[in-house]
Amino acid sequence: MSDLNVREARWTERSALVTGAGGGLGRAIALRLVRDGWSLVLLDANNAANQETLSLVEESGGAGATFTADVSDAGAFGVALSQAERVAPPIEILVNNAGIEGTVAPVWSYGLEVFDAVWNVNVRGALVAMQGVLPGMIRRGRGAVVNIASTSAIRGRKGLSGYVASKHAVLGLTRTAALDVAPHGLRVNAVLPGPVRGAMIERIDAMAGGVERAGEARLAEPDDIAAMVAFLSSDDARHINGAAMVVDGASTVL
């Protein structure tokens, strides 16, 4: 099931679809894209949080629509996308930001149900969204996808086998999709944030006993990641395709 909410607003000529738009990072991405002239199609499983993001978008002078759906549910996503396409300008940017961290546990005792839940949101959800949006981009010959991965896509992290495996998969999916869409003039890139200030890192720290970020650089702010998303969404990045853009304050250098 999906729940679409559209308010009277002045749409621009192009839309960006942001999944996980009700969270801190998704909200920062949406607000940054508004500054660059994008109208917003906002998806989140949490309707109240998504509505709050839409309110902030409108306060910033932007236009948007929200819908509530599980991004891993292809049927619900398809219904919501069809509704959004009837009221919003063409979707030229997809930001696959929706993600969950799962739990912290040794690999030998990591719950399979938790693993499946993480995989469904983080990997299947990204694929569902791309399968929904890319055909329209291909028909129009214009568009780009930005997948929010993590530095966990290029390293291991103790106790986070579900999350780490999912982010490795998101990066692989990004690189493969980039090759698939390149002949159509489209781009697919990934942003690999290090630890970002917000609810997710707080939950991971709590589960890991406060040692998750031992040796890490300072926390990034959501706006730091949003700036990279905005760049990859712009024409300035027209020759960047299949890239893994690390934004981590040098925490993966050593």
Domains and CATH numbers, the chain: 3-247 (3.40.50.720)
Give the burial string for 165-181 (b: 16+ CB within 10 Å, else e).
Answer: bbbbbbbebbbebbeeb
Report pLDDT for 177: 99
Q: Mind telling me the catalytic residues?
A: 163
- pLDDT in 10s for each residue of the chain, 254 residues: 445 555 555 788 999 999 999 999 999 999 999 999 999 999 999 999 999 999 999 999 999 999 999 999 999 999 999 999 999 999 999 999 999 988 899 999 999 999 999 999 999 999 999 999 999 999 999 999 999 999 999 999 899 999 999 999 999 999 999 999 999 999 999 999 988 765 555 555 555 555 444 445 577 788 999 999 999 999 999 999 999 999 988 877 76
Nearest to 194 by CA among 245, 126, 135, 124: 245
C-alpha triplet 204, 115, 96: angle, nearest 5°: 75
Stretch (H or E) spanning 93:
strand 91-96
CA atoms within 13 A on the CB side of 138: 13
DSSP state of 28: H
